[in-house]
Amino acid sequence: MNTKVTKIASKKKKAASKKSGIKTFEAGDVLFHENDVAESLYIIQSGQLRLYKPKGKGFIDLAILRSGEVLGEMAYFDEKSRRRSCSAAAMVKTEVVEISFLAFAKTIEGLNPWFKTIINTLADRLRKTNDKVKELEGNSVGYGTGGKVAGYVFLHNADIIKMLSTLYLATKNHGTKKESHWEIHMNRLKFYLYDVYALAEVKFEEFLNLLKAADILKIGKDEDGLPKMVHMYNPEDLRNMLVFFNTQKMLEDSKKLNISKDCATFLKFILNWLRKSGASGPRVEADISEIVTEMRSANLKISEESLKDAVDAGLCEDIIVGSGNKLTSVINFEKLKNIYPSIVLMLAIKDLNESKAADGKGKY
């Protein structure tokens, strides 16, 4: 009997030990969900992890963890259930070291009994404090008419305006102009956004990722070699975005700009074509037939009908069929150049909000 028990314990030990090691998560991958059975803790080697707590159709964002920080350790001290107290997901490509609780227990066992008592007491107090804080936290939901709860909204228009105005004004007033860009330290931006506006840290981090993906800015290293220096190519792009989102906020839903993804892609090819052709001036003619051919060469199944949203928005005129069935359109070039980055950001924010409103199923 003892031999059998020993063999079972040995198998469990080997299974648990296999969980330890380096793991890589892509952006959006979930490490664990709230109430999952916990068997490991994690040390972040690179990247960013988001801790959140599902609530209704939305989430309460708790914290962002970065390189060198630990997560998942609280479940080790919760011997009653060994359940995760929140969910965790990667914000960008993230590498972590996973340490099984079995391996961690060996380290704890080597401590003096009184020291283990202190650790367990502190962990219990911290968990109770976290529970009280979570009870008081609000959820980022949208509200419909009459104060009724609408769909979950991660980034509200007001959040976007706060972040864009802070990025623009702080950079223009406190930033340093270099030969090819402006730069400002992240700590300066966080002072205004976190201490003044009380904006949730996770919202700014996600927003920065969107701006980086749109090539509006990039993050460089500061004097200490830390990735905390924000490089902005043209702060006026931020100003144009700020005007755009502020204007959209004032409009009725029926009058807000509505551009589909296919239309946005079409506009991108139009801009590239006009720039390559050396076009200048407020209004110029574009060869739509040639642009459609370029899109098809890029394996994009987008037809000229996709340009309708841009026509309705006054970014271009109706497509004209000329001799030889050549398609052309007059493009509001200056307006399109100014508004296109805002269109890209608007669609990215829409995708982000929709992904975070997916009831926590799959990728957040």
Mean pLDDT across the stretch 157-180? Answer: 91
What are the φ/ψ torsions at residue 329 (nearest 5 degrees)? -155, 145
- Whether residue 330 is found in the same domain as residue 272: yes
- Whether residue 242 is found in the same domain as residue 266: no
Task: Specify the pLDDT at position 143.
Answer: 39
Could you count the other beta carbons within 10 Å of the beta carbon of residue 62?
Answer: 21
- Whether residue 24 is found in the same domain as residue 122: yes
- Residue 233, sorted as left (phi over 0), alpha (psi -120 to 50) or beta, turns out to be alpha
Q: The CATH number of the domain where 73 resides is what?
A: 2.60.120.10
Does 222 or 55 have the greater pLDDT score?
Answer: 222
Task: Specify the pLDDT at position 361.
Answer: 41
- Whether residue 110 is found in the same domain as residue 192: no
Evaluate whether 239 touches 172 at the Cβ level (below 8 Å).
no
Grade residue 318 by pLDDT with cuts at 50, 70 and 90. Answer: very high
Radius of gyration (Cα) for the chain, nearest Å?
26
Mean pLDDT across the stretch 189-194? Answer: 88
How far apart CA 77 and CA 101 sit, in angstroms, is: 10
User: Among residues of the chain, what percentage have pLDDT more than 70?
Assistant: 80
Task: Please state the length of the chain.
Answer: 364
- Whether residue 68 is found in the same domain as residue 24: yes
Q: Is 361 part of a structural domain of the chain?
A: no
- Whether residue 222 is found in the same domain as residue 299: no
User: What domain range includes position 105?
Assistant: 14-136
Mean pLDDT across the stretch 89-96? Answer: 90
- Whether residue 29 is found in the same domain as residue 101: yes
Q: What is the pTM of this model?
A: 0.62
Least confident of 3-7, 205-209, 270-274, 299-303: 3-7
Q: Is 182 part of a structural domain of the chain?
A: yes
Q: Is 188 part of a structural domain of the chain?
A: yes
Q: Is 106 part of a structural domain of the chain?
A: yes
Could you count the other beta carbons within 10 Å of the beta carbon of residue 228?
Answer: 18
- Whether residue 226 is found in the same domain as residue 200: yes
Instruction: Choose among 300, 210, 215: nearest CA to 264.
Output: 300
Could you count the other beta carbons within 10 Å of the beta carbon of residue 203?
Answer: 20
- Whether residue 250 is found in the same domain as residue 293: no
How far apart CA 364 and CA 358 sit, in angstroms, is: 7
Long-range own/partner contacts, residues 234-240 (CB < 8 A, 24 or more apart): 235/167, 235/168, 235/171, 235/172, 235/175, 235/182, 237/341, 238/164, 238/167, 238/168, 238/171, 239/168, 240/338, 240/339, 240/341, 240/342
**Structure tokens of 346?**
């608007």
Q: Is the dihedral of CA 106, 107, 113, 119 positive or negative?
A: negative
Q: Mean pLDDT of all residues in the chain?
A: 81
- Whether residue 19 is found in the same domain as residue 132: yes
Which residues are registered as beta bridge partners of 60? Answer: 53
Q: How many domains does the chain have?
A: 3
Sheet holding 21-25, edge to edge: 21-25, 94-100, 40-46, 70-71
Least confident of 51-55, 91-95, 162-166: 51-55
Residues whose CB falls within 8 Å of the CB of residue 218, separated by 6 or more in sequence, listed in order = 212, 231
